[in-house]
Amino acid sequence: MADMSQGRSNVPHGGSQAAANRTISGSKGLELAEPLIFEMGEAGRCGVDFADAKVSNDRLNGMRRKAAVGLPGLSEPQVVRHYTRLSQKNFGIDSGFYPLGSCTMKHNPRINERVARMKGLGDLHPLQPTSTAQGALELIDTLATWIKTLCNMPAVAMSPAAGAHGELCGIMSIKAALEARGEAATRTRFLVPESAHGTNPATAAACGFTVDSIPATERGRVDIAAFKAKLGPDVAGIMLTNPNTCGLFENDIIDIAAAIHEAGGYFYCDGANFNAIVGRVRPGDLGVDCMHLNLHKTFSTPHGGGGPGAGPVVLSAALAPFAPVPYVIHDADGFEMVEHKADSDAQPFGRLKGFHGQMGVFIRALAFMLSHGAEGLLQASTDAVLNANYLRAKLQDVMSVSFDGMCMHEVLFDDRFLKDTGVTTLDFAKAMIDEGFHPMTMYFPLVVHGALLMEPTESESKDTLDLFIKTLRGLTARAKAGEAQSFKDAPVLTPRRRLDETAAARKPVLRWTPEA
C-alpha cells in the first residue's frame, strides 16, 4: 500500500510545511493512518473462541468449500478501532459546516430520529396486512395533507424515492396525460433552462422527449422572450426550477405558467429548492402542474452518499388522475392502499417503486413538520434566505457575486475574483478543506464560469458563518497576494492530498486483491 503521508505523486509538496506534515507512522496527530481490514488481518487470529464444530461431511453433499474463505483474522479491539477510525474519516453535517449548494445539508433534528425508532414505526414491515398498519397509513396520509397544504395542490404521489425519481414520476404523469389527450405522438419537446440541475434534461430525455435548452438572461433568470419564441404545438412542457439553481426566484413564473398552458403544455416545477420558500409561497398559486419535493432537503431527513431520500410529487387536477399506484385511500372503515391499476377509479400510469415509498423518511419529515408547526417552517425558510444573504453581503466586496440583488437560500459566486491569481475554483475549494470547511458546490450551475455555490441553510449559527466568512476573506486575500502555490498544494492537512477524481470515478477499484 502507498505511503500514507504522500499525496498524488505529480502534485508537488509545499516545501517545508509539507515536510513538517510528514510523519514516520503515516498518522497525523491523533488522526491515524488506517490500512484496509484485509491488510491488517492475519490468518488464524480471531476475536472469539469457538468450540470445535462437529462437521458432518455428507451434509453438503460434497459441496463443502475446499479452501479458506479468506476472511481477515482480527481481534475484537482491532475491529472496534478499525471501524471507529473509518467513521471518523467521514465528514457529515454532524461534524461541521457543509455549505454544499443545491443540496440543503441542514441539521437533522434528533427528535426525528427518536420518532423513527419508536417500536410501532421501526418494526413495521411493508408486507404486513394493512389492518395491522393503520397508524402507518394514517402517517402517510397526514404527511400528504401537510404537503398538499404547503403547496396548495390537490394531489400528491408519495412513492418516488428521491428528487430525480420524483421528476420521473412527474414527467411520466405528463406523458400519460398527453396520451389520454391523444397528443403524445406530437408533443415531443421539453423546454429546460440551461441553469437546470442535470437530472431535469436527463429525465425528459429518459422519457423519450427531446430537450430544448432555454438561455438565461444576465439577471440569472429564464429569458422569457426566448422561452416564448420556442413555444409551439410540439411542446409537451417546461421543467423549471424555482428558486432556480442560481439561488434566484424566477420572477416571471406566473407569466411562464400562463404561456405554457396557453401553448397546451404542462408546467413541471423542480421543487428541490422549496427550502427557500416553504410557508411563504405555494406552488399551486403559481400555476404549477407538478413539482417534486425533496423531503431529505427541505424537511431535514439525513441524506448524502446515495442514502435514502423521498421525492413526493404534488399534482394539479389535470395530472392527478395519472398518479402512480400505490396510494392511500381513506373511508369510514379506515385506511387502505390502492395497489393495482385495476382497483383504481383513476388512470394511474403504473407503479414506480416496490412498496409504498420511503417510510423512514416520511416519519422524519412529518416529525420535522409537526415539531416546527406552520410558523416554524416559515421561520426556517426565512432564516435560510437570511443566512445566504448574510454570506453574500459579507463576501461580495472581495469575491465576485454572479448576480445582483437579494438571493434566496443559496448564493452564487463565480471565479472572476480569482482572475490573474493562478488559483482556480478547484484550488480554492481544496484550500477550504485545510481550514476545516466542506467546500461549497463547484462548477455548477454551468451558466457562470467557475461557479462557487454556497448554501448555508437555516441551521447554522452566526458564529459559524462569521468564521466561514473570515476564512474565505483570508483565503481570497492570500490568492490575490500571489500565494497561488499554497492553493496548488492544498489540501496538505488531510490523510490524502489531491486524488485523481476522474480515474476514481471512471476506473473504480472496488476489490482488494492480495499482493502476489
Interacting residue ranges for ligand PLP, rule: CB under 6 A: 102, 162-164, 197, 199, 241, 245, 270, 272-273, 294, 309, 311
Residue 174 CB, shortest distance to ligand PLP, in Å, is 17
Q: How far apart are CA 301 and CA 132, in angstroms?
A: 26
Residue closer to ligand PLP, measured from CB, 133 or 288: 288
Residue closer to ligand PLP, measured from CB, 413 or 487: 413
Do 412 and 448 meet the contact criterion of CB atoms below 8 Å apart? yes
Tell me the one-letter amino acid at 351: R
**Region of 43 on the Ramachandran plot (φ > 0 left; ψ -120 to 50 alpha; else beta):** beta
Residue closer to ligand PLP, measured from CB, 197 or 488: 197
Residue 122 CB, shortest distance to ligand PLP, in Å, is 23
Residue closer to ligand PLP, measured from CB, 137 or 246: 246
Pick from 221, 163, 168: which is nearest to 197 by CA?
163
- The three-class DSSP label of residue 25 is coil
Q: Looking at beta carbons, which residue is closest to ligand PLP?
A: 163
Do 385 and 409 meet the contact criterion of CB atoms below 8 Å apart? yes
Q: How far apart are CA 286 and CA 256, in angstroms?
A: 9
Q: How far apart are CA 331 and CA 130, in angstroms?
A: 14
Residue 197 CB, shortest distance to ligand PLP, in Å, is 3
Residue closer to ligand PLP, measured from CB, 133 or 269: 269
Residue closer to ligand PLP, measured from CB, 5 or 402: 402
Residue 171 CB, shortest distance to ligand PLP, in Å, is 13
Residue 196 CB, shortest distance to ligand PLP, in Å, is 7
- The three-class DSSP label of residue 267 is strand
Residue closer to ligand PLP, measured from CB, 7 or 99: 99
- Grid cell locating 48: 472469539
Residue 344 CB, shortest distance to ligand PLP, in Å, is 27
Do 445 and 367 meet the contact criterion of CB atoms below 8 Å apart? no
Residue 243 CB, shortest distance to ligand PLP, in Å, is 9
Q: How far apart are CA 43 and CA 46, in angstroms?
A: 9
Do 267 and 141 meet the contact criterion of CB atoms below 8 Å apart? no
Tell me the one-letter amino acid at 231: L
Residue closer to ligand PLP, measured from CB, 272 or 429: 272
Residue 305 CB, shortest distance to ligand PLP, in Å, is 11
CA dihedral 98, 99, 102, 105 (to 10 degrees): 30
Q: How far apart are CA 247 and CA 244, in angstroms?
A: 5
- The three-class DSSP label of residue 151 is helix
Residue closer to ligand PLP, measured from CB, 41 or 160: 160
Residue 296 CB, shortest distance to ligand PLP, in Å, is 6
